[in-house]
Amino acid sequence: MSKQKEELEHRLKLRNIKHSDFNDIRGIMVSAYKTQGMTWTKEEFKNQLNAFPEGQICLEDNGKVVAVALSLIVDYAKYGDNHTYDQITGYGKFDTHDEEGDTLYGTDVFVDKEYRGLRLGRRLYDARKELCENLNLRSIIAGGRIPGYNKYADQMSPRKYIELVKNKEIFDPVLSFQLANEFHVRKVITKYLPEDTDSRAYATLLEWINIYYEKEEKLIGNKKTIVRLGLVQWKMRRFNDVDDLMQQVEFFVDTVSDYKSDFCLFPEFFNAPLLAEFNKMDASEAIRNLAEYTEEIVNRMRDLALSYNVNIIAGSMPEYDGKKLRNVSYLCRRDGTMDKQYKLHITPDEQSYWGLQGGNGIKVFDTDAGKVGILICYDIEFPELSRILAEKEMDILFVPFWTDTKNAYLRVSTCAKSRAIENECYVAITGSVGNLPRVENMDIQHSQAAIYSPSDFSFPHDAIIAEASLNTETTIVADVDLDLLTKLRKAGSVRNLAQRRLDLYSIQWKNKR
């Protein structure tokens, strides 16, 4: 065989890309794309290989790379359909790659101009499909350029152009190829690649479904997406002692647990009826004596959380360490662990009557049914606190409250509904009803427990999931869907968290302790 004939023979090999391939690949990209902004730098190329080497595929011919397909794995729900190329690739760093994700995302396919017509792109697409099946991923998704649109942009919309390409009335060098490879167009994306002038910055969102995909589920202990909330609207009544109080507490825990609830929320100062024992004392002295019951009540509620298999937010109770009197809510998890959240803002009345002081910290609590926050009553009226919790990926905010009048209640409930919309989370509130004669500063109650949601198509039109009867002792039990929050944050009609102008403003927690 002559040397000239050997040089004309192709020796194609499909393999994963190596770091030493950069110069070959760079050369193909420069010739394939008109603008340097659409080509990878050496550092970006290195990051891509380090993040997901199995997903970077090439065809070589006689030792030279002639066609390339790049990809990464993402948890697609985090991005939704309205993403940009930079967002989903981490601006080329591929730090968005998630080994636990469910979708193979195709970031690039390009072929050396001298090898066009040999259907090398089809081989790369087939390799991607094989990778998707072997990794048991749900689908392949890609943002596809429509470079042919530039010729028709003054005549028709991108949607019309795509329709004509589908009907083979128009040929598009990218979209026609993708449609021929079993991809379907989910939607049109705008500003996907702003520098892509041929496509006028439009792109098609394409998907290939892996029909062999099998969702992997644990037999037990799966992460919950549907969470059931149980709220106790508590009636203030005279109790003889702690045992008497706890008998009523257990009744409600048992009731909520029977409905397989994941959480049981009690109101602020639900143990206030025990103040009647200290009627003859000054109000500030009486509440400090009430604080002596807190440890026993918390321990017994922790035992109830274990025995009834429900996470209990133990309303709030006074805590006194001999120096500071504070208002604290306990989270008693059903695994036996506990956390607590202090009330940060003290009302003038609470300070004047009791000498309460505010706490100094705030946190999001991990549970087996999502990330939760707790704000006690007045704290919900300070939007900065909820925003800080939202920035820590809170799913559900619990607000135990005590209000005496309708206007006080409406301050809490209106602010709570606003916090749900602003922070794209669920907010559950509950208070107490009834009267406590001869208990100073806790004599009358007004409440309507409720669960609020964001306001968008996937949620109730009035952002109210459930409401209790007004001023009646009762419970409400309702489900909230955490997956809907994920969808909202990435693809909602409005995106309050994602679209904050952080270049103009921010909220900073100053206490570093």
Residue type, 124: L
Q: Which residues are catalytic?
A: 268, 343, 377
Angle between helix 22-32 and 42-51 (nearest 10): 120
Q: Is 60 left (phi over 0), alpha (psi -120 to 50) or beta?
A: beta
Handedness of CA 415, 417, 421, 426 (dihedral sign): positive
| Cα Rg of the chain, angstroms | 30
State how far the Cα of 386 lies from the Cα of 393, in Å rounded to an integer.
11
Q: What are the contacts of 237-242 at 24+ separation with CB within 8 A?
A: 237/273, 237/434, 238/273, 238/276, 238/436, 239/273, 239/274, 241/274, 242/274, 242/293, 242/296, 242/297
Tell me 436's DSSP state. Answer: -
Torsion of CA 161, 165, 168, 172, to 10 degrees: 110
Angle between helices 406-423 and 383-391 (to 10 degrees): 30
| Nearest-angstrom CA–CA distance, 79 and 63 | 38
Contacts with 61 (C-beta within 8 Å, 6 or more apart), sequence order: 10, 11, 12, 13, 115
d(CA 103, CA 73): 6
234: phi then psi, degrees, rounded to nearest 5? -95, 135
CB atoms under 10 Å from CB of 457, counted, come to: 9
Cβ-defined contacts of 125-134 (< 8 Å, 24+): 125/69, 125/181, 127/14, 127/57, 127/69, 128/57, 128/69, 128/71, 128/104, 129/208, 129/210, 131/54, 131/55, 131/57, 131/71, 131/104, 132/104, 132/208, 132/210, 133/210, 133/212
- CA distance linking residue 99 with residue 76, whole number of Å: 12
C-alpha to C-alpha distance for 52 and 47, rounded to whole angstroms: 9
Task: State the amino acid at position 87 in one-letter form.
Answer: Q
